[in-house]
Each structure stands twice: as structure tokens, then as C-alpha cells.
Structure 1
Amino acid sequence: MEDFNSHFSSAFLGKKILITGGSTGIGRASAILLSSLGAKCLICGRNDEPLRETLAAIKSKKLPDAIAVEADLSSGEGIRKVLDAVDSELGGLDILINNAALGYGSITDGGYEDWQYILNTNLLAYMACSQEAINRFKSAGAGQIINIGSMSADVREEKSSVYVATKAGIQGFSEALRKEINPLGIRLLLIEPGAVDTDMQPASKEEKLEQIEKHEMLPADDIAWAIAFCIAQPPASDVVNLKIRPHLQLI
């Protein structure tokens, strides 16, 4: 068996990776890290400015150029736009990281259209992107889907019933889909983080930094490193579910 450093350093070279929600938080951190390890990343997001900022951060580190697509994954049109770019700009796909998601509170807030938009973004987009990825993986007999879920699927916090519904849906979807696609040589991983410094957290930047220092919140980089660790596993070894929480997030 080759040593870990040799294996890890070569596990990402030339890999073609789609990261949804790749302009902020976990997606941004993952794009920067995976690019630094030699992967070719395509990121998508709803807003142009953070996409450009993420590309600039990657370029400033003299890393392989990433590709950015401005698209709203709540619609079939947005999903088709991203996957068309995967084919034309990325030239194929090895790994899908389903990460794009929005926070939301209780079912007692808002109305049908609000909930529909959240469900489309947080759950249906995961399903649609997964189907598109599987169609591309089948011919190669290999590929990996990484779904970013949340501890909310199990903890089910009060006043977050809409968000919890989407994350519980991702959990069930991931567990069932893995059984369908493993015989095709396709791996599936569900990562369920606890509190992470992302745009979903309502606290100020200073408050979040204080929580990170107190080990009550994780920086997004920690989740990116966990993703890299799982990608680098040998072909016969699957990390199926990974729960990551801050040391002092006691639940």
C-alpha cells in the first residue's frame, strides 16, 4: 500500500468537481481547498459578486482556474444551465457536491410560494443534480456524490420546521439512493455538520469568530477538509455518513 501522503496528494489531480452553492460558506471553502489539491472545480450560485470573489480568491493563490456559473437551482432551467456548463466548460464530471441551501424557520411563517422555493432549492435541486450526475457516471462505472445535510435532520430544532423537513428529506434520500447506485460503482456520502460559519447563521461576523474561538462553531474550512478526506478514501472504502459538530456544541 502506498503511503498516505502520496495517495492523498494524487487523489484530486484532474478531478472534475461540481460544487453547488460554491460562492459562500462550505462551498467556497471547498472550492478553494479542492482547487489547491489539483481538482478542476465548477461552482454555481445565485449572485454574481460572491462568485467572482471566490474565483479571485482561487486565482490569487495561483491555483488551477475554476469556472463559475450564475444560476438559481430552484428551477429546472437553472439546473440545466449548470449541467450544460459541466459538459461544455468542465468537460465531464467525477464528483458532485450538493451544497446549495437556504435557511428558513417555521411552517407558521410565510406561505406556499416561500416554502416551495426552499424545498426546490434545498431538496429537489439535490435530487435533480444527483440524477444528472448519475447519468454521467454510469458510462465510467465510477463517480461520487457528496450531499451536505445538517444535524437538524436529527435534532429537529423548534421554530425551524421547514428547514428541518428539507434536511430530513436529504438524509432519507441519501440513504436510499446509496443502495441504488453503489452496484453501479458510484459512491455516496452524506455529511451532516453542526453549527458552521456560513451565511445561514444570524450572528455577526465578530460573534461567529468568538463562537469559533470557544469551540461552539466550526469554520467552513473544517468541513472542506472533511470532504477532501472522504474523497481521498480508497475505491473500496466508503465513508457513508459523517457527523461533524463543534466540540462544545452540546446537544
Structure 2
Amino acid sequence: MEALKDYLPHSVEGKNILITGGTTGIGRATALLLARLGANVMITGLDEQHLKDALKDLYKEAKGEVYDVIADLSTEEGVNATFRTADSHFDKLDILINNAALPAGKVENGSYSEWQRVINTNLLAYTACTAQALERMKGDGHIVNIGSMSADVREETGSIYVATKSGIQGFSEALRKEVNKSGIKVTLIEPGAVDTDMQDQPTQEKKEKVENLEMLTADDIAISVLYCLSQPKRCDVVELKVRPHLQII
């Protein structure tokens, strides 16, 4: 077996990585982990205070370069602004982690404009950012799409959210067939319940669920992302489902 040092610790060192929705939750945890390992990380966010909080930690711990942009990825201009900023810092893009997402409930609730913003953020932005990233991956790169167990469970309480995550699942499968001959890897990660702002529950309740093995932490998914990025060129982690131990699905 190849030495372990050839895998995890050095796999992202010096890589140029863009993480959408990198100011909170899974995106923030992933940005912190990869920055600690020497990656050059750029994060996007919507909320300026969340961005400042994330950058404070990133600047403190990063071994590589750290960049940021405030952008609404539900719009074409937000996507374009993100990649204009990326171009000002990176000569190429090695890794795109599509993570930015909004919660959504039943189709019986909400309005057209609300559904449109969710679908644009959760699905269209993934495709638009991927298209832009592929232009900047010169024959070698990795697209990681953060999906959700909702694509399989299809809970009745979140039909709009389910629609977006099911779309990401299908997009990821087809995308891999489209780009793998170009040397681009595609990975879909589908977490179960995770202690993030997406979970509309009191903080203490979520902490108790983590302790009771009913909920994951954002760090758990960050480590999963690192595992997928750390495989040798010959090895693709195509789909990774990560569930809390006591979340039986």
C-alpha cells in the first residue's frame, strides 16, 4: 500500500479551491479544514457578518491564501461576480465545492418568487458554477456537490427542497459521464441530519441530538469532503452517503 502521507495530509496543499456558501455550517467547516491543510481557499457568502466571522477564523488558521466574495448565487450576476473574483486570485481552479443552499418546505406554502430563489440557489447555481469552473480546470479538477438525504427520503414536509436535491443527484450522475474523459472528477455527498443553521431547531436540542448519535456535525461532512478529495487519480468517490448512526433511513 502507498504511504498514508501520500493521501490525506498533502492532497489539498497548494490547491485552489472555491467553496460556495462557505460562511456557515458545512461550507465553513470545510473551508477551515482545507485551509489548515494548505489549500488556497475562496468562499462565497450572502451575509456580511457571517462572512466576517468566517474570515476571522480562516485568517487565523490558514496555511494557504484566503479570499472571499459577497454574492447572491441565485442570480446570474452573483455567479459571474464570484468567478470574476476567482480569476483575480487564481490562475486556474482545481476544486469547486458546490454547497450554498436555502431551506424550503411544502409546495402548499410559499410563493413563486420564493420557490424561484430556492431553486435558483440550490440547483441552478450548482449548474452555473460548474459550467464556469470547468472552463478554469485545465484538464484536471474535481467538482464536489453537497446534496442531501432528501433526494432519497423525499419527505412530505419539504417537497420544494426535495426537488432541488433530487435534481442535484441526477445532475451529478450525468455530469460525471460528461466530463470524466476530460480528467475531471465528480463527487456527490449526501449528508443526513447535520447540526447547522439549516436545521430549524433550538441549539441545545441539536447538541443533544449530536450527543445521542441522532445528528452529525458540520466537521463530520468536512472530513468526508477531504476523504473524497484525497483519493489518487485512479480512484473516484462517485457518491458518499453520510448518516447519523441512529438515523435509520
Partner of 1:89 in structure 2? Answer: 89
Contact kept in structure 2, 1:20 and 1:45, CA below 8 Å:
yes
Name the amino acid aligned to 2:152: D
Give the 5 Å matches for 1:61-76. 61=61, 63-76=63-76
Number of residue-to-residue matches in the alignment: 249
Partner of 1:115 in structure 2? Answer: 115
Contact kept in structure 2, 1:146 and 1:189, CA below 8 Å:
yes
Contact kept in structure 2, 1:154 and 1:168, CA below 8 Å:
yes
Partner of 2:46 in structure 1? Answer: 46
Over aligned residue pairs, what C-alpha RMSD do you find? Answer: 1.1
Aligned with residue 232 of structure 1, among 227, 230, 247: 230
SS in 2 for 1:72: coil
CA drift of 1:62 comes to 5.3
SS in 2 for 1:26: helix
- Take 1:239 and 1:119, find their aligned partners in 2: how far apart are those partners? 26
Name the amino acid aligned to 2:209: Q
Is 2:214 the partner of 1:216? yes
Q: What does the per-residue CA deviation read over 1:4-40, in whole Å, with 9 as the maximum and x for residues that have no partner? A: 1243222111100000000000000000000011100
- Take 1:90 and 1:32, find their aligned partners in 2: how far apart are those partners? 19
Q: What does the per-residue CA deviation read over 1:149-201, in whole Å, with 9 as the maximum and x for residues that have no partner? A: 00000000012000000000000010011100001110000000000011110
CA drift of 1:111 comes to 1.2
Is 2:241 the partner of 1:243? yes
Alignment gaps of 5+ in structure 1: none
Contact kept in structure 2, 1:97 and 1:147, CA below 8 Å:
yes
TM-score, with length taken from structure 2: 0.97
Name the amino acid aligned to 2:140: A
Name the amino acid aligned to 1:102: L
Partner of 1:171 in structure 2? Answer: 169
Name the amino acid aligned to 2:168: I
Name the amino acid aligned to 1:28: R
Contact kept in structure 1, 2:100 and 2:122, CA below 8 Å:
yes
Contact kept in structure 1, 2:104 and 2:161, CA below 8 Å:
yes
Percent identity of paired positions between Structure 1 and Structure 2: 54
- Take 1:15 and 1:60, find their aligned partners in 2: how far apart are those partners? 19
- Take 2:243 and 2:25, find their aligned partners in 1: how far apart are those partners? 16
Contact kept in structure 2, 1:58 and 1:65, CA below 8 Å:
no
SS in 2 for 1:230: helix
Contact kept in structure 2, 1:42 and 1:90, CA below 8 Å:
no
Name the amino acid aligned to 1:105: G
SS in 2 for 1:82: helix
Q: Cα–Cα, structure 1 residues 111 and 62, in superposed 2: closer, same or farther, change >3 Å?
A: closer
Partner of 2:99 in structure 1? Answer: 99
SS in 1 for 2:194: coil
- Take 1:10 and 1:170, find their aligned partners in 2: how far apart are those partners? 29
Following TM superposition, the consecutive aligned residue runs of length 4 or more in structure 1 with deviations greater than 4 angstroms are: none
Q: What does the per-residue CA deviation read over 1:35-62, in whole Å, with 9 as the maximum and x for residues that have no partner? A: 0111000000111111111111122235
Is 2:188 the partner of 1:194? no
- Take 1:125 and 1:62, find their aligned partners in 2: how far apart are those partners? 27
Alignment gaps of 5+ in structure 2: none
Q: Cα–Cα, structure 1 residues 106 and 142, in superposed 2: closer, same or farther, change >3 Å?
A: same
